[in-house]
Structure 1
């Protein structure tokens, strides 16, 4: 998603764009509704209006009440947890192109923010790797409830289902600590998108557009009190275009609408709030965008574009593969439209808060989401056309490949002579039913005890998650070209056509595991208890959570199916297939575990506080365990399954919080040292086709990480500076694969940072954001070291009239070619050069807007 909305509309080239400091800025008052939020809270999200050029006070912001993964009783300064609160305007200033890019502003998180606006990012935390994909130990929430129960659902990661827009009042994140006990399936961190709720009348409307690429977008939001006890907020966006890679068709299109209505009770006793959300948007997701890597021994020292593929703006989306054929499991051939990731979410929910008197309050948050969608795209993998390991001379469908011809485009029928071929699959996953229901109920009591104030919160969290999917992963061949690649038809040495429209097989690219149908439901019931006591500068708290998760349903893998005759412009081919096996794996089991957290904070003065915390959180392994040998015939866990169904993350942390005056302004600084240990058992089917030694799908490793998180804010007059950084040192301490012991987990940098200075003079504002990381290892075996990369974003805002903003912002201002995370090398071209396979960050993209 786009942060600062951009305009450039048409000929007049209003290359002046959205200021990322919008007319309406949000602050968080210490209001009763916000304080009342509990275990999975939904805060009020006040919309206090500020004048253009009004810069937040850095020290004052530390008094904002923390409502995420906490009791909702204390400010950031007085909370014994590591917490970040990022305003809407701060995020918009520096142009996030995806949800993962929003998270780069949060210390401790390690997002691989290269997947694009559709989602599918890997999100790590505090040096703990993402072993399978998605967000194993980090929950993404909207108004206090998780988007999905598990952040790493196969083809259902939690960043598919939400979008940052003008409805968001702020993003709040808690790392470690109480994330273990105030949320389920999120022992590493909880990130909460908190909505505006209409306390102050006002809103915004903006038109934005890409400069040099097609993306038209309209954003709006408006909220207001209707009476002294009734208020509302509504907003959303619609956009369409060719996406950041400027495709020749509308790969990006859709909308989101969100609304809420709040009724306050008499005598300030509480409120009831109703929520609505509709998201329907297809957006591109990137898998591999390969490059040429320069080698110095086992070090990758530089990157350069391939002759026909510039990974900064190249993609697999093409006018010659707008749709492709797949074999459905009813035996019929059908066409799938390439849409990237297309989520369709309709959500209804409510929040209830009521002061019962005598120090007792009750809170309940409830939501039902109707969710479905599809993941339909073309993956990329680099294969030499000729030479060792190349396409020509290899065996496809039982015959030796003699030639490759263009199957579409202006060169249709001609022999393809390019150096490289893309032999990765096209994939169509139908997310037929991803519905979920969540409810969080809490009762809080406040009592005078022992000369201090005690707070006791007890409650119950319930969530039910459906995972109903069909997978169609088809073998495919096409030219390697970053713009409008054409499919390739292969012909044997005897002239037999082996593929049609580039397709060589139906449902069979990843083997029998992945011609898959799953019909699963997971239910998590979790009672929780938090006890806190405060006197003077001392806060003590302890919390415990008991999760009992039940999984039930069925899963089917594939077996050899019929050979289908498929015709295209060059002729016809006999295409083999996999179809669903008659053998059904049954899932019917429960597991339970206890998570706990203990913390203490002492405020030495109004300027300085120190905290310490220890915690253990559980993480249930859900759908990634099916079809991997974990279940008995009756659906119960076998011995292997019992040993691997839950992973535990242990964390210890100590932190210092400091605030005060400086240079005529104010500042806040938080420094947290942490140590994390994890024993993970999991299964990653995608490793099966990797080159050795990275081809074992079974994961059984122990990890240890320690490090420091740093976050600071400085406000001096019109100048504002934000600095966030994370240092972590990680290693694999134990593994069933002996060669991994002592190695550094692949894809994790030791150091990440974001430095963002800005200046706002009222009539104009400008700023830059410098973000980067140090080197990483290519994989868990540490075969190669990959150089780190630093990127620069920037914005400029002009306000020529009251309530009007024109703006310009740029992401990757210097068009840097670089990567996040690890990656593989194949093919090796020489002792000093190879093809590097990972996903690069987008090149320079500039947006302009009028608001």
Structure 2
């Protein structure tokens, strides 16, 4: 008889718990409970979504702390891959080094893109107030480099009440602050593509009471997809200076950052798939298209045209994701006495940039001839009929295009005019003795963040080649009379995604005021805490929609074409002037069973505000900018979680040590949202659903002499509460294992990460894959290290869990009945880099 899924979940937890805890059972009886020892892998003080005075083992939350070296050894090629070192996260897309990944957690689906329930922070303050700003996701604005001391992640629990807009998880990039004297300079170069990167950092003491740290990187290259132009160009520099106050009373810290980094983005990387009913059984290349190194941009579309709100056409560069950020901040901590202290963190940020990308949309060439542009490509209302397709540029310019497939999709240029912010987080703490061995700690805080979101969208429909050239060429369409229907591959301006979105423009400000309170009691081995947060979000601004109608004449190497246009209107379609209030809470308890083992339980509910994704639905707002009843319902989603966990550490043999954590969780989310791209897929844009999930997160690390191994395995069962259907991009299992051996003069390591099968759009099941990275380090002289890093060692063709789709299914030209073309961001093929580093 088939066992219920919950028993499977418990069985996995029991098995992993038994394996990782085995060394403890071989020891003699454990000593009485005491403070954690100073082992760095188990006793690092938690500073993320917490009061900041407890080690991870003694905190009643699920927390992971990943060192700078551990992340570097994992050989990440993007910010998404940095986050894959953290158990419980569902990082759906690779998307490239510039960001734009969909980041979920604990079975909570990512319904509209971005990081809807996951917050990214730098030194305890949010990078952006909302993780899923359209064309401004929070992972655009962070870069992992030598400045990072560790990446700390809190899943569930106190993320609901110690942060705003991130009830699923908070991920914090914690910076070095000069405690250790010294630094590093390193030069790396790609071996099988063109990329050169310089990294540096240095920190230390200027006096007995003043210390500093500064570092950054500069990069140039064409990226791992071998783009035929300089697609990577940028730098980041970060620094801080800390003044310790007299008598150890606290400190004052000032910090800054400058980021200006242009990186390609990989949103569409197609593969030929074998099908057995609704199951994808394998991936392969087709017509020379290899998803592992496919790029939708090249020589002939590295620049393209857009139509502005003034009706003028201008040429813009295909920059991928190009964030520009300047931040100035500070932190103040002061101990009034042993009982009272205050901490205040503040940061001003000026952020802007561009998002530009050519998506790939696979279409059988034979299916286009004889149809109208509207019917063939979904561009609304375009009744011009296609009779021939010709190369618009390149050595075959003017010749008929005869390949089996072509690409037709959105070509986007979004100006992030202003996504800057100001944030301040003030906390007062009081500690009170309430009896022998017992104390109560109270934390009262006020969080304020003002987030600007000013964007201009320009989204065209573009047609180009899809074949083995490795350099996509724009394609022009002609009617039976020989009239040119497109120019430079464009069938019109701002006419993609059903004509809904090109020409959008808005200038908005969201101000979040959030007082919060936590009470914590330590009663012998028992720790109890309760916290509550009250968010009040004020929304202001105007949004302008595209207005269709009109034409413009555009010329290229084949002639000229009269193209339909859509451009930004001059009258606001949405005026925002409202305030939305909601509350979040969390309760937790931890019991220290002995000096090596603790168990915790926690329940929490956190609210998450929907910001710019509420726009362009007139049912959400009144004429004077207030929320309607429907808009109020859509504006806040709630995540409720329950957790039960065990944390353990121990020693074995003469010098071996280990740590392990197993957490059972349940999560529920009320998801109400609006997907603006859904009408272009003939789907309803309204999302109103409840999702349930449960699972097990098990992580462990072991160190014995020169050998070490770290890893995790996560089981997730998620479903739509209404129909019990599994959400797309939600594998049952994800895992990571990283063994290493360091002999001093040399070190070697591997990491294998992957997931089980997952659903994609259309009800298809996609196969899971495991991807292996590796490194070798040699230290020929003191302070010198030479290394070789390989990502995707076995050049595996496959995809991480994502919501991709079958774009074309056989039988059609070039496809048999059991074949199709699958599209999403694939894992890059084997990439190799060599580096030399000098530490001083």
TM-score under structure 1 length normalisation:
0.91
Question: CA shift at 1:654, angstroms?
Answer: 0.3
Question: For residue 400 of structure 1, what is the aligned residue in structure 2?
Answer: 385
For residue 708 of structure 1, give the secondary structure of its aligned residue in structure 2.
strand
Q: Distance in 2 between matches of 1:520 and 1:429?
A: 16
The one of 103, 106, 131 aligned to 2:86:
106
Q: Distance in 1 between matches of 2:455 and 2:662?
A: 44
The one of 629, 633, 636 aligned to 1:643:
633
Is the Cα–Cα contact under 8 Å of residues 289 and 380 in structure 1 kept in the other structure?
yes
Is 1:542 equivalent to 2:530 in the alignment?
A: yes
TM-score under structure 2 length normalisation:
0.92
Is the Cα–Cα contact under 8 Å of residues 513 and 627 in structure 1 kept in the other structure?
no
Question: For residue 607 of structure 1, what is the aligned residue in structure 2?
Answer: 596
Q: Distance in 1 between matches of 2:225 and 2:783?
A: 33
Q: Distance in 2 between matches of 1:531 and 1:848?
A: 51
Question: For residue 461 of structure 2, what is the aligned residue in structure 1?
Answer: 475
Question: CA shift at 1:60, angstroms?
Answer: 4.9
Q: Distance in 2 between matches of 1:712 and 1:58?
A: 18
Q: How does 1:677-826 map to 2 (within 5 A)?
A: 677-690=668-681, 695-734=683-722, 741-779=723-761, 783-820=763-800, 821-826=802-807
Question: Which of the pair has the greater relative contact order for Cα pairs under 8 Å at 6+ separation?
Answer: 1
Q: Distance in 1 between matches of 2:81 and 2:736?
A: 12
The one of 658, 661, 667 aligned to 2:658:
667
For residue 688 of structure 1, give the secondary structure of its aligned residue in structure 2.
helix
The one of 435, 452, 458 aligned to 1:466:
452
For residue 462 of structure 1, give the secondary structure of its aligned residue in structure 2.
strand
Q: Distance in 2 between matches of 1:220 and 1:497?
A: 54
RMSD over equivalenced CA pairs, Å? 1.2
Question: For residue 648 of structure 2, what is the aligned residue in structure 1?
Answer: 658
Question: CA shift at 1:392, angstroms?
Answer: 5.0
Q: How does 1:27-66 map to 2 (within 5 A)?
A: 60-66=40-46
Q: Distance in 2 between matches of 1:481 and 1:378?
A: 16
Q: After superposition, what is the alpha-carbon deviation per residue over 1:593-635, rounded to whole angstroms, capped at 9, x for unaligned? A: 1100000000110111000000000000000010023111111
Question: For residue 356 of structure 1, what is the aligned residue in structure 2?
Answer: 336
Is the Cα–Cα contact under 8 Å of residues 361 and 807 in structure 2 kept in the other structure?
no
Is the Cα–Cα contact under 8 Å of residues 403 and 467 in structure 2 kept in the other structure?
no
Q: After superposition, what is the alpha-carbon deviation per residue over 1:253-308, rounded to whole angstroms, capped at 9, x for unaligned? A: 10000010111101000000000100001101111111111111111111111213
The one of 443, 450, 474 aligned to 1:457:
443
Q: How does 1:236-385 map to 2 (within 5 A)?
A: 236-385=216-365
Q: After superposition, what is the alpha-carbon deviation per residue over 1:196-220, rounded to whole angstroms, capped at 9, x for unaligned? A: 0111220000000100100011000
Question: For residue 209 of structure 2, what is the aligned residue in structure 1?
Answer: 229
Question: CA shift at 1:465, angstroms?
Answer: 0.4
Question: CA shift at 1:537, angstroms?
Answer: 1.4
Moved more, 596-605 or 580-589: 580-589
Q: After superposition, what is the alpha-carbon deviation per residue over 1:751-795, rounded to whole angstroms, capped at 9, x for unaligned? A: 00000000000000001001010001113xx61111111110000
Q: Distance in 2 between matches of 1:582 and 1:226?
A: 56
Question: For residue 620 of structure 1, what is the aligned residue in structure 2?
Answer: 609
Is 1:556 equivalent to 2:547 in the alignment?
A: no
Question: CA shift at 1:61, angstroms?
Answer: 2.0
Gap regions ≥5 residues in structure 1: 1-56, 735-740
Is the Cα–Cα contact under 8 Å of residues 101 and 113 in structure 1 kept in the other structure?
no
Question: For residue 200 of structure 2, what is the aligned residue in structure 1?
Answer: 220
Moved more, 632-641 or 273-282: 632-641
Question: CA shift at 1:723, angstroms?
Answer: 1.3
| Gap change, CA 1:58 and 1:699, over 3 Å in 2 | farther
Question: CA shift at 1:707, angstroms?
Answer: 0.2
Question: For residue 38 of structure 1, what is the aligned residue in structure 2?
Answer: none
Moved more, 580-589 or 565-574: 580-589
Question: CA shift at 1:536, angstroms?
Answer: 2.1
Question: For residue 415 of structure 1, what is the aligned residue in structure 2?
Answer: 400
Is 1:533 equivalent to 2:518 in the alignment?
A: no
Q: Distance in 1 between matches of 2:305 and 2:38?
A: 56
Question: For residue 633 of structure 1, what is the aligned residue in structure 2?
Answer: 623
Q: Distance in 2 between matches of 1:60 and 1:314?
A: 42
Is 1:492 equivalent to 2:479 in the alignment?
A: yes
For residue 641 of structure 1, give the secondary structure of its aligned residue in structure 2.
helix
Q: Distance in 2 between matches of 1:58 and 1:301?
A: 49
Is the Cα–Cα contact under 8 Å of residues 242 and 253 in structure 2 kept in the other structure?
yes
Is the Cα–Cα contact under 8 Å of residues 316 and 379 in structure 1 kept in the other structure?
yes
Q: Distance in 2 between matches of 1:469 and 1:506?
A: 17
Is 1:842 equivalent to 2:823 in the alignment?
A: no
Q: Distance in 1 between matches of 2:696 and 2:641?
A: 13
Q: Distance in 2 between matches of 1:144 and 1:575?
A: 50
For residue 810 of structure 2, give the secondary structure of its aligned residue in structure 1.
strand
Q: Distance in 2 between matches of 1:626 and 1:184?
A: 21
Count how many residue pairs are aligned between Structure 1 and Structure 2. 782
Q: Distance in 2 between matches of 1:761 and 1:819?
A: 35
| Gap change, CA 1:602 and 1:503, over 3 Å in 2 | same
Q: Distance in 2 between matches of 1:643 and 1:260?
A: 43
Q: After superposition, what is the alpha-carbon deviation per residue over 1:16-44, rounded to whole angstroms, capped at 9, x for unaligned? A: xxxxxxxxxxxxxxxxxxxxxxxxxxxxx
Is the Cα–Cα contact under 8 Å of residues 309 and 503 in structure 2 kept in the other structure?
no
| Gap change, CA 1:391 and 1:715, over 3 Å in 2 | farther
